[in-house]
Amino acid sequence: MQTDDFDVNAQMLQLRQGNASIGAIAAFVGLVRDLNEGSTVSTMTLEHYAGMTEKSLIDIASQAQNRWPLQGITIIHRVGELNPTEQIVLVLTASAHRHAAFESAMFIMDYLKSQAPFWKKEATPEGARWVDARESDETALARWQ
């Protein structure tokens, strides 16, 4: 968890650390959009549950480690106020082969979206509103179970 932005390349280099048995890194970056459910978004504020959020992310990462042969995982999630086009979340997974890397990154994002305690509040011309959880995120989770 951090308020600062992140550099994807630097995070990848840190994850690899010259480990020559890594053949594949899958990455996901989530970004603030300026339009959500029909309204213009001027800023987004991310709230989290200090303590529990970190534990959830560690738990999600260890579930991914148990399911796929991974050589490393990075999860960075920003909190606080963010503007459209800013980076919100970074997930990196490293493996010998690409399918393990891709699948574990999707798994982590699906779990993070529906299990990690983060809440988004958007400022729109109609006033501020909390982003509602999406049914589709629950559906996405179901396929891993």
Partner 1 sequence: MVRILYFASLRENLGLADESINEPVTTVAELLDLLAQRGQLWDEQLRQNTRLQIAVNQTMTKREAAITTGDEIAFFPPVTGG
Candidates 15, 64, 73, 116; binder of partner 1 (CB under 8 A) is 116
Q: Binding residues for a second copy, how many (CB under 8 A)?
A: 35
8 contributes a contact to partner 1 by CB under 8 A: no
**Distance (Å, whole) CA 119 – CA 132:** 9
**Closer to partner 1 at the Cβ: 13 or 29?**
29
30 contributes a contact to partner 1 by CB under 8 A: yes
Query: Under rule CB under 8 A, which residues in 10-29 are in contact with partner 1?
Result: none
Give the helix ranges, DSSP H, for 26-134.
Answer: 52-67, 98-115
Instruction: Answer whether 56's CB lies under 8 Å from 116's CB.
Output: yes
Candidates 26, 46, 101, 105; binder of partner 1 (CB under 8 A) is 46
Angle of CA points 138, 55, 79, to nearest 5°: 75
